[in-house]
Every structure is written in structure tokens, then in C-alpha cells.
Amino acid sequence: VSPLLNAYCMGVKVTSQLVRSIILNGSVSQEEDFLPHTSGLPIDEFSSTAHQSCINALESLEEVLQTRRNDQGSTFGPCAVGDEDSPALIARLRFRRLLMLGLVAVRTGGGVNVNAAGRWFAGAAAELKHISSTPANGEQLVGFDPDVNRSRVSPTPPRPVKLKTREDCQECFATLLQQLSYACQVTAINGFTDLRMYITNFSLMGPGPIATSALHGLLKLKFGDGNALQQMLLVDFACG
């Protein structure tokens, strides 16, 4: 198996583990559409060792591709990477790595981690724009046929399974990154009035379960047992 393909597939798998862990930690579901406690495909639990080794593999491949961009062709296992394909591959590897770094920082929490997560999400958004400008090879890829994937989805109420187009997927990722970046700003909130306005603005973004769970988890880390929130209320009341 090509190291390039293997690293990217592992990146997708570890990202799925991270997303599942964030949603379980935040305990935010949308009706019957996403109930990870009772249904879903079997996914390994989040592991700090697994995600770090995957991030290292993605970064190493980025560096190799960067150094070989001017070569006539670079070989990764059975796959040859031409010079014209290198920028597109680098953008995808970097996007996946930055997204994973941001999700790990959100999951582990802490002021420094969350501030770094915001920067990583911004970097991932920049790489996503680069990906959007690169051509896609092939219209229908093997393994992504709707009829094939319909039998692989997790148990859900009967409904048609529609795969998104490339453009729709990129738009979904861009929206998710924007929402996650905004969720990371919660660490700068120091007053109850500001917190109320912040949550109102967040809800107006129409966030999905991933961003909402991320914010819920960060709020739990910031306010813990509620004493910090109670102090904010008292300060605002005294100043009000």
C-alpha cells in the first residue's frame, strides 16, 4: 500500500475517532440523526498515541513532497506522484493534519490548547481554499458509489442516503471550521453578559452537533462545577 494513501486513510480514521470523542464528551445530539451512545459504526476510542503517530506521518509526507516538488516524479510505494500533483496532495495532507491538531486541542482543552486550536483551524481553512482551486481527478471514485455505501451506514431511520458533491463537502468543511474557530473564542469570555451574547451569536450560526459539542466541552472545562459562572453573575450584578 502506498505510504501516501495509507497516511491519508489513517488521518480520516483518526479524525473520525476525534469527532466521535468530542461529541460523546459534549453529549450533544440532534434528535435521532446522531446518537453515538446507542448506534453507529464501531470506531476505536480516541487514543493520544494513535493521533500523534498519524500527525507525524502526515507531516513527514508533506516534507517529502515539498522537497521533491521539482523532481520529474516522486515515488511512494506503488504510486508515482508527478510534479503537477504535488501542490494538491500537499494541501490535502496539510488540511487533514491541521484539522486533526485543532480537534485534539479542543478535545484535551486548556487555555493554551484552545488558543492554538483557533490558529490551526484558520490554517486548515486556508488550505481548504487551496484544495478548492485544485482539480479533482475522476468523477466517480471506486468505493464511493451511493449503493455501496448505503449498506455501510450506521443504523438510522429509513431515509435515502445522498452523497454530497465535492463543492458541497468543501462548503461544509468551511462552515465547520468557522464554527469551531468561534467556539474556541469562549476562553476570552470573562463576564456573564458577554457569555450570553456569545452563546446567542453562536446559535445564530446554526451549528451542527460537532461544533456544538466542542463548545459544550469547552464550557465545561472553563466553568467546571459552576463556581466560576456564579462568580461572573455576582460581578455583573454588582456592576450592573
| pLDDT tens column, 60-70 | 888 888 787 65
What is the per-residue pLDDT across 43-81, written as a single tens digit (0 to 9) for each? 666 666 777 888 888 888 888 887 876 555 544 443 455
The model's pTM is: 0.78
Residue of 234 and 117 predicted with greater confidence:
117
| pLDDT in the model for residue 46 | 67
- 3-state SS, the chain, equals CCHHHHHHHHHHHHHHHHHHHHHHHHCCCCCCCCCCCCCCCCCCCCCHHHHHHHHHHHHHHHHHHHHCCCCCEEEECCEEEECCCHHHHHHHHHHHHHHHHHHHHHHHCCHHHHHHHHHHHHHHHHHHHHHHCCCCCCCCCCCCCHHHHHCCCCCCCCCCCCCCCHHHHHHHHHHHHHHHHHHHHHHHCCCHHHHHHHHHHHHHCCCCHHHHHHHHHHHHHHHCCCHHHHHHHHHHHHHC
